[in-house]
A and B are shown apart, each in its own frame.
Chain A
Amino acid sequence: MDHAIVCKELYKRYEDGKKKAVDALNGLNLTIRTGECFGLLGPNGAGKTTTVEILEGLIAPTSGQVEVLGVRWGTGQDQELRERIGITLQETRFQEKLKVWEVLALFRSFYVHGMTVEQAIATVALEEKANSWVRDLSGGQRQRLAVATALVGEPELLFLDEPTTGLDPQARRRLWDVIRDLRERGRTALITTHYMDEAEKLCDRVAVIDHGKVIAEGSPNQLISQLGGEHIIEFSLEKADGISIQLSDFLKLTSVIHAVQEAEGFLLTVGQPHIAIPAVLEFLDQQQARLNSLTTRHVNLEDVFVSLTGRYLRDE
């Protein structure tokens, strides 16, 4: 099978009596190939969780088609399908006074096939905490336990809904190791996140969702190269009267592809920084403007999102 997930023209409308109906999904199309690690990106409220919960068979779409591992939900094969998928919800709190191994033994009992509890614990590197109560785990350890409950049935397809939200950098990195390890073993995984760096590091392909629709899709590199340049120059100027610089002036410079004015300064997308930087400096000199700061970095998915929507992910 080539495709693990295919969904076409998904619509989901939440009606809540007196309140105005909310359209969470507006014709979402998505195809995820077998064996890839796919990232669903977007700000809060974009429709990520609604999408995964429809794919997981937890809620029904208002209209549209969904096929997961070649099966449609509600056609009498739900039970078999659930044997083949593993999920983590955005937030699950297991019983505080159960031990890690007890939680996993419980979830293991739901599946006909799967790994042993010890293997599941080892997969998420929680050996030292196997006998601890859930209550005594840190946020990152709880999240790894949640991933272990998703893995214990050895699923063909894994859904991880914002697995690293709210974790400190070290805990995030440990969880990334776990996910990378799964990818190497050829599991298909769908990860939602609003961290761009996470998607860049973990995913073979990503789809950017906004207002219930996919607005861009491809490998992280493809999306980045759609911007035309691979580097960003950010700089700010000292306050001075009588200087008027138009954004369009920058676009006339060699190798500058895109220019944005921000509150603190300017942001230029450039093809070759070693050509663009001298040109920018020369231009600023002509305008008698003095630099306050200048930095360069690689373009990331955040820049892609900003250029697609004009908004920052963090603003949401």
Chain B
Amino acid sequence: MNSFAPVLQLVICNLKGFLREPEAIFWTYGFPLLMVIGLGIAFSGSSAQSVQFDVIEGPAAQQVVAAIGKDPGFKVKVNARDEAMTRLRTNRTLVVVDPSGDGTYQYFFDPSNPESKAARSAVDDALQRAAGRKDAFTSKEVKVQAPGSRYVDFLVPGLIGMNIMGGGMWGIGFTLVDMRIKKLLKRLLATPLRRPHFLLSLVGMRLVFFIPEAFFLLLSAYLIFKVPIRGSIFAISAVAFLGSLAFSGLGLLAASRAQRIETISGIMNLVMLPMWLCSGIFFSSERFPDFMQPMIQALPLTQVINALRAVILEGHSLFSQATPIGILLAWAAVSFTLALKWFRWG
């Protein structure tokens, strides 16, 4: 028996345990894939989405419908005032047009909602033109929908990052608390197993799992939506693994003392919530105000996703990602050190 046999055995046992849990496999692989497919279809439809707006019932309502009702870029509904306002408040329509009957219009819309604001302009433009306004010049439109710049392309690295976070934190944290509850940790402590070997086995487990976590999604997205993979496999692997390592450290830290599943679930959600919201999974983290940026940029998930987008979509090399790599390594080092200090076997 060589001295790393225990590490190998622990990894193998964890792996077998995982592969024998169909639910775990679904939540790890099936669920993110369904999410990519669902969101990909919702946002990558070939026809541009039409603008939804309501017109308040009245003698002049038919003029509006006649003016722009046939334009495929608009979807118009005629409704009573109360009904239309309720639809606006509940986001089922973007703008409510109130025709006065004398050729002027009143628009109701929500200026804090970018879609509502854009819809107001579009409706206004269309009505002005229908009323006879002439454009000062003719503009030309170039529609950009090439692979690599669509929403689905933006989304996939975000979901991979989210997957790596979830895998690392749940994979390590949940496993440890479960072992603690079952008194397995205590039982292992009573064997000659060396503690660093035990921790190494957790890292080893991540080393095995990050590959399917990252590449299963990426490959599926590549095959289904032609999401481009411009960077090297090595660079993508390195970023994914470093992310995995940082989140393993956080998972280990979160689980270092928790005695119950409820406790660890609470801690995990508390740690992951800011990252779900701010780290740019579904929209760019740069949309948050400037004063929040230093905090957001320090989050490990922000760095994983930024680096993944850079290498996958833009084909950057690993060396250009020194900042994300540095931040991820720092997270891993700090969390592992603290976790080792606080870790409780019993």
Is the Cβ of B1 less than 8 Å from the Cβ of A89?
A: no
Contact with B along A142-159 (1 / 0, CB 8 A): 000000010001000000
**Nearest Cβ on chain B to A34's Cβ, whole angstroms:** 21
A127: Cβ under 8 A from any B Cβ: no
Which 10 A/B pairs are nearest by Cβ-Cβ distance? Answer: A93-B182, A97-B20, A109-B9, A82-B192, A110-B191, A109-B5, A110-B193, A109-B6, A92-B187, A106-B9
Cβ contacts under 8 Å, A111 to chain B: 191-192
Is the Cβ of A58 less than 8 Å from the Cβ of B346?
A: yes
Point out the residue from B9, B13, B189 that lies within 8 Å of A58, measured CB to CB.
B189
Give A residues with C-beta under 8 Å from B: 56-59, 79, 82-83, 85, 87, 89, 91-95, 97-98, 102-103, 105-107, 109-112, 133, 149, 153
Is the Cβ of B182 less than 8 Å from the Cβ of A92?
A: yes
Is the Cβ of B183 less than 8 Å from the Cβ of A110?
A: no
Closest to A103 in B: B13
8 residue pairs of the A-B complex, CB under 8 angstroms, read A82-B190, A82-B191, A89-B186, A91-B183, A93-B184, A106-B9, A110-B191, A111-B192
Cβ contacts under 8 Å, A107 to chain B: 191
Cβ contacts under 8 Å, A153 to chain B: 191-192
Is the Cβ of B16 less than 8 Å from the Cβ of A98?
A: yes
Is the Cβ of B192 less than 8 Å from the Cβ of A89?
A: no
Contact with A along B179-209 (1 / 0, CB 8 A): 0001110111111111000000000000000
Of B17, B186, B192, B193, chain A has the most CB atoms within 10 Å of the CB of B192
B219: Cβ under 8 A from any A Cβ: no
B10: Cβ under 8 A from any A Cβ: yes
B102: Cβ under 8 A from any A Cβ: no
B21: Cβ under 8 A from any A Cβ: yes
Point out the residue from A57, A92, A102 that lies within 8 Å of B16, measured CB to CB.
A102
CA distance A105 to B11 in the complex (A): 12
Cβ contacts under 8 Å, B189 to chain A: 58
Is the Cβ of A79 less than 8 Å from the Cβ of B192?
A: yes
Cβ contacts under 8 Å, A97 to chain B: 16-17, 20-21
Enumerate B4-36 residues with CB–CB distance to A below 8 Å. 5-6, 8-10, 13, 16-17, 20-21
CA distance A83 to B6 in the complex (A): 14
Closest to A113 in B: B1
Point out the residue from B1, B8, B9, B187 that lies within 8 Å of A112, measured CB to CB.
B1
